[in-house]
Structure 1
């Protein structure tokens, strides 16, 4: 079940009122302001939405857990129903099917929501319904849960990732063609996840396939120093910063090079080039 963030989009089925900020009026007042537009984007909007959602569940006789404020419980004579909320996604599970159906309808009356049906995936967990092998008809199906590692999941042990990045940074001294790729994966040193690790594997495969290639320094080259530089505009998809690159040649010999993100976000291609 996926509950849309109705409060942030101004879709609650009632008028929204808010207290005026301090200093708006010269003297204290009990008046309130009626919001005519959505509160999306305000820092207090997520907290206000959760307060509204919490008060709605408490009206349905649910209890908020003390050690996990996002978990709600309601016990009945036939069993119990658990509700877990994460941002704008919730899970409802329990043995009282009539209470679950009633809760779904009550939530639909209070919020604009969409029922995604039987739980299959939640926060990297895969849930599979497996029919019980027991001959009893009343035996409920078993739930098999396993962790699915996606490309956006963080690595449990980033030590190997950081060691590989440091080694690749050292190799850029003699492998200038991997400078840009290594610069991209170096941005994830603090919080590495699977996608940059896949990129590192591709870099290593490239190095193994081009091991016999290298830089050539001819003996008859001139001693004239040439420098070239270039940059793109918002070329980094992760930070939206422009990437600058330069290289220096002594005659026909490449002696120095670098590729890095700019320190700030450029507002135009002219600023990025400058």
Structure 2
């Protein structure tokens, strides 16, 4: 083994060090993606996707160059390693790689235009951040227009640093928003337990329980209420899993209002002001600042 000093570049991931902390970005990779898409116009967009727009599997005309679509979406997915702001868009567009239509390619070009306008943004890990971990979980109920499956979204914060996040369509259709939220909370709990064990291996012991914030009071009541409800039998495993973690005091569930829910970024498209507000909370900002 060789000590090559401080990490600065690895597989497209750029790491820079400053007084404010450590920054992660993929600026060169993002610029290469823009070149691959051959975007020569200077049209500016301020959000990855349009608000209240749903994309179906079959609508309009089929896109001719399916290989190009797959290459761009694959690059987009790799870019989400340091770009949480495009995670939701990448999750949506990756569902159409087998048979993309022109409207899907148009949506993909919008995401790439957004990347072109924000190519110098990076994820900041402040040097003054604490080592207290909290999590946020949410779900967009029945958001898929084809299958009516919900979208799970969660992120983990170590102090003010976002260290882990996820955006994924659920494997089963949920009959209620509470069921969708509960499944999202269960997935977030699994990540919390894994991170707690990892941090313990690194010599960072988590004192007390890790707080998981959700904006669905019904889901929180089910998790903290030992009484088994008839209408929760279909999510029985998730119920018992979260209850055990709450009883062991590994996790504590707390309510957070929807306007303060950071995970909206991973479950839906939003307005420019809301989008920028959440990014600032997640310490994702322009490098020069």
Q: Which has the higher contact order (CA 8 A, sep 6+)?
A: 2
* Higher Cα Rg, which structure: 1
State TM-score, norm by structure 1.
0.44
Please give the TM-score of this superposition, normalised by the length of structure 2. 0.42
